Structure 1
Amino acid sequence: MKKFGSSALDRRAFLTGVATAGMAAVASSAFAQQSDIGDILSAPKRGNWDDQFDARSTSRGKVASFQPIASPETVSFIENAINTYSQIVGNGGWPTVPGNVKMQLGVVDPAVSVMRKRLIIAGDLSQSAGVSNSFDTYVDAAVKRFQSRHGLPADGVMGQYSLAAMNVTADVRLGQLQTNLERVRKLASEDQGARYVMVNIPAAQIEAVEAGRVAQRHTAIVGKIDRQTPILDSRIHEVILNPYWTAPKSIIQKDIIPLMRKDPTYLEKNKIRLFDERTREEVSPESVDWSTDDAVKLMFRQDPGKINAMSSTKINFANPYAVYMHDTPSQGLFNKLMRFDSSGCVRIQNVRDLNVWLLRDTPGWDRQTMEATIASRVNTPIAVTNPVPVHFVYVSAWSTGDGVVHLRDDIYEMDGQKALSIGTNT
């Protein structure tokens, strides 16, 4: 995959942002950056984020919605949110929540009353709940609602990431909404297609949209800071079941060659075969001098199977960046707080559901046939009868109405607010 964009940052923590001038920087995340080759080595159990939280502590709408981001309704709702946030800023914003105690259900501390005020102002907690020092079930539900709106695991615990997101100032959030209003307005004005797939990069989320409603929503993993997923428009023309995976030269040099020096059986264990790029003839690993980087001149191709880096599926669409969408054997990565781990391509959770949706008009490809084909481990390219438009977009703030404002980190620093980008204060 080709690199899109660049950054000196090689790791980031979530929303290290800024509540007031003088506020100490929030510690950056210690999560490990995992290379694509790591996907070959392990395949943790599939997991899900709880994005469907229905707050009981407020009369406002549900966080989950079938409304697409690229819609005139979203434009209107963002405009309403801007009016609301302008009033909040005009009234002095919201207070900074102290970080001296880990707040969760059952805690009694003066910091809880400050957090209650913060949640009430943003509409996550009803005013009738009051501003006591008790972290009760109403506060627990309000915190979960806040976390869901910010793309955080809705566990009700105020850890460093939730605290950092909560302490981004109201005026910064207002600016974020204003910036993204123009993006969504442009998207809504364009003909996306009756059926289309939209990858929202900062949300690490995919929408499959049909007849103006989200038919499917998928958690995604997108590009690292220094290997960014590009913004693009194309059409999905092919779904490959049981794909081959060809290792990029960067991974060959940085990962595979060092691993072969330690374990000469590594390629065999991981079902990776070598080919001469010119003649396409297979090359024996024993004939390669692994003490040098000469192996970079060869093609490293992994056979289809459970440990294949793309697992069951590769989804192709024409683009100048050599990126695509695919499955992964490492389903546990979808549980990560920061899902910016790829080399530019997009990994999709529950990709087989999307396959069925994409191949709906392609004769002979129902769910049963697809599953049987995957089980066969035979490489099977399928031309999509009616190619489906796909759009990679960058929207870090939007609203689904009724006071539900979604806010994400400006992972690639495109919003023009340093307070919203990760790693600013590290």
Structure 2
Amino acid sequence: MKKLGSSGLDRRTFLTGVATAGLAAIATSAWAEDAAINDILASPRRGNWDDQFDARSSAHAKVASFQPIASPETVSFVQAAINSYSQIVANGGWPNVPVTTKLQLGVVDPSVSILRKRLMVSGDLSASAGISNSFDTYVDAAVKRFQARHGLPADGVMGQFTIAAMNIPANIRLGQLQTNLERVRTLAAANQGARYVMVNIPAAQIEAVEGGRVVQRHTAIVGKIDRQTPILDSKISEVILNPYWTAPKSIIQKDIIPLMRKDPTYLTRNKIRLFNEQRQEVPPESVDWNTDDAVKLMFRQDPGKINAMSSTKINFANPYAVYMHDTPQQGNFNKLMRFDSSGCVRVQNVRDLNVWLLRNTPGWDRQTMDATIKSGVNTPIAVTDPVPLHFVYVSAWSTGDGVVQLRDDIYERDGQQALSIGTNT
């Protein structure tokens, strides 16, 4: 669980890396600008939604907020951001930062003066910092603030993903805010209840909200572009400790069968058992893996540390057969791309969320839960007071004080062609 410090969501704009030479040619013409944006979108990688912010940076710390996305305050702040960005666009937008050298603290280069101007226009750097060619501590803090607002690693280094995000034109960002205003307005108008969980898909982030404040914020891994996490509303009704994992047909066909053709020991090594329609166990060696006949069988993985859901499965009614869960691959939460599941949502530090969900369920404090997980025994727990759950798609919002959060439009739902090109993986 990440207590505040995680930033918000979206923009598929830089779902990919961009060739450094490509961005340098941006400012010469409208055609060059479009080409540069397309390069950003066509790149195979993008920035990071990692929300481990550097609290030591005062500029960076201002990005953190207890404010939920689904709140009337967020609506007001997005409207204010739209007014601000409209003025920026009317004034000619912001300059493109050329790629001449790796810009970071201590570097002196002519492109730093352009970087300063760019950061001043977006409000990340105070005008009092002045214009110079020196990448000083003021610029370092401003770049970290910019990175935090865009869900990038706040390291202060102007890498290709930060430059890609920085060189998205102001008018496109304005359109992104306008599109998401209606989404935020709809969320704020709904009665979310005293406490609820919200999964923001483009931000790959989870908010546990109580009393109008975010009490827990978790990094998530959500669906791939071709296996998208759905938009839904439900209630969390069950937490299963040490769950069995049953592979869906899509994973059997797309992943497991090809793996078995390469490595016949895959199922045994991963403690995945096969069962027929009569619930009789089927030996893997009796299956013809050169066909797709195996999809007729049930693939069930035993509980344990290598289980695909590890310690926890969180259930809620939905027509998509998706759920939330733990994962044995904790390092994936630090990846640049966190769109890597088959539609379900993986939750970092899920035990903290479990404790919060089961707070009113008798007999399930943290100590008891940890002991149960250690035992390895499959243990379904009905949640006494089912908690409302919302999977939403918000790629741009604001938490006030000039903090505008922008993320990749990973599923191309923002209706802006310039930010929805090159989504092939």
Distance 2:341 2:147 in 1: 24
Q: Secondary structure at the match of 2:256?
A: helix
The equivalent residue for 2:326 is 327
Query: Quick check: 1:418–1:424 contact (8 Å CA) kept in 2?
Result: no
TM-score scaled by structure 2? 0.89
Q: Secondary structure at the match of 1:354?
A: helix
Q: Secondary structure at the match of 2:254?
A: helix
Query: Unmatched 5+ residue regions in structure 2?
Result: 1-11
The alpha-carbon distance between structure 1 residues 180 and 221, as it changes in their structure 2 partners (threshold 3 A), is: same
Q: Percent identity?
A: 78
Residues 294-333 of structure 1 aligned to structure 2 (within 5 Å): 294-333=293-332
Distance 1:424 1:288 in 2: 36
Query: Quick check: 1:275–1:299 contact (8 Å CA) kept in 2?
Result: yes
The alpha-carbon distance between structure 1 residues 303 and 75, as it changes in their structure 2 partners (threshold 3 A), is: same
Distance 1:207 1:177 in 2: 20
Tell me which amino acid in the other structure corresponds to 2:404: V
Distance 2:95 2:220 in 1: 33
The equivalent residue for 1:289 is 288
Query: Quick check: 1:71–1:187 contact (8 Å CA) kept in 2?
Result: yes
Instruction: Report the CA distance between 1:73 and its aligned residue.
Output: 0.6
Distance 1:397 1:313 in 2: 31
Instruction: Report the CA distance between 1:249 and its aligned residue.
Output: 2.0
Distance 1:355 1:29 in 2: 37
Q: Secondary structure at the match of 1:26?
A: helix
Instruction: Report the CA distance between 1:291 and its aligned residue.
Output: 3.4
Q: Secondary structure at the match of 1:163?
A: helix
Distance 2:41 2:210 in 1: 41
Query: Quick check: 2:242–2:303 contact (8 Å CA) kept in 1?
Result: yes
The equivalent residue for 2:94 is 94
Distance 2:214 2:54 in 1: 14
Residues 152-163 of structure 1 aligned to structure 2 (within 5 Å): 152-163=152-163
Query: Quick check: 2:50–2:151 contact (8 Å CA) kept in 1?
Result: no
Query: Quick check: 2:221–2:338 contact (8 Å CA) kept in 1?
Result: yes
Tell me which amino acid in the other structure corresponds to 1:154: A
Q: Secondary structure at the match of 1:146?
A: helix
1:28-49 residue CA offsets vs partner (Å, 9 max, x unmatched): 54459xxxxxxxxxxxxxx964
Please tell me whether residue 26 in structure 1 is matched to residue 40 in structure 2.
yes
Instruction: Report the CA distance between 1:108 and its aligned residue.
Output: 1.2
Residues 12-161 of structure 1 aligned to structure 2 (within 5 Å): 12-13=15-16, 21-23=31-33, 24=36, 25-26=39-40, 28-30=42-44, 49-51=51-53, 53=55, 55-56=57-58, 62-161=62-161
Q: Secondary structure at the match of 1:227?
A: coil
Distance 2:111 2:224 in 1: 35
Tell me which amino acid in the other structure corresponds to 1:271: K
Instruction: Report the CA distance between 1:424 and its aligned residue.
Output: 6.3
Distance 1:404 1:235 in 2: 31
Instruction: Report the CA distance between 1:167 and its aligned residue.
Output: 0.7
Query: Quick check: 1:313–1:351 contact (8 Å CA) kept in 2?
Result: yes
The alpha-carbon distance between structure 1 residues 145 and 54, as it changes in their structure 2 partners (threshold 3 A), is: farther
Distance 2:354 2:284 in 1: 35
Distance 2:211 2:56 in 1: 25
The alpha-carbon distance between structure 1 residues 416 and 258, as it changes in their structure 2 partners (threshold 3 A), is: closer
The equivalent residue for 1:43 is none
The equivalent residue for 1:41 is none
1:41-65 residue CA offsets vs partner (Å, 9 max, x unmatched): xxxxxx964235465459xx71010
Instruction: Report the CA distance between 1:425 and its aligned residue.
Output: 10
Tell me which amino acid in the other structure corresponds to 1:155: D
Query: Unmatched 5+ residue regions in structure 1?
Result: 1-8, 33-46
Instruction: Report the CA distance between 1:185 and its aligned residue.
Output: 0.9
The alpha-carbon distance between structure 1 residues 313 and 103, as it changes in their structure 2 partners (threshold 3 A), is: same
Please tell me whether residue 388 in structure 1 is matched to residue 387 in structure 2.
yes
Query: Quick check: 1:200–1:393 contact (8 Å CA) kept in 2?
Result: yes
The equivalent residue for 2:366 is 367
Query: Quick check: 2:94–2:118 contact (8 Å CA) kept in 1?
Result: yes
Q: Secondary structure at the match of 2:178?
A: helix
Distance 1:217 1:203 in 2: 12
Q: Which moved more, 1:262-271 or 1:197-206?
A: 262-271
The alpha-carbon distance between structure 1 residues 294 and 425, as it changes in their structure 2 partners (threshold 3 A), is: closer
Task: Tell me which protein shows more helix as a share of its residues.
Answer: 2
Instruction: Report the CA distance between 1:286 and its aligned residue.
Output: 2.7
Aligned residue pairs total 400
The alpha-carbon distance between structure 1 residues 334 and 157, as it changes in their structure 2 partners (threshold 3 A), is: same
Cα RMSD (Å): 2.4
Distance 1:102 1:300 in 2: 49
Q: Secondary structure at the match of 2:361?
A: coil
The alpha-carbon distance between structure 1 residues 258 and 226, as it changes in their structure 2 partners (threshold 3 A), is: closer
Distance 1:268 1:360 in 2: 37
Instruction: Report the CA distance between 1:27 and its aligned residue.
Output: 7.4
Q: Secondary structure at the match of 1:98?
A: coil
The equivalent residue for 1:248 is 248
The equivalent residue for 1:257 is 257
Distance 2:180 2:50 in 1: 27
The alpha-carbon distance between structure 1 residues 390 and 98, as it changes in their structure 2 partners (threshold 3 A), is: same
The alpha-carbon distance between structure 1 residues 333 and 302, as it changes in their structure 2 partners (threshold 3 A), is: same
The equivalent residue for 1:183 is 183
Distance 2:56 2:227 in 1: 35
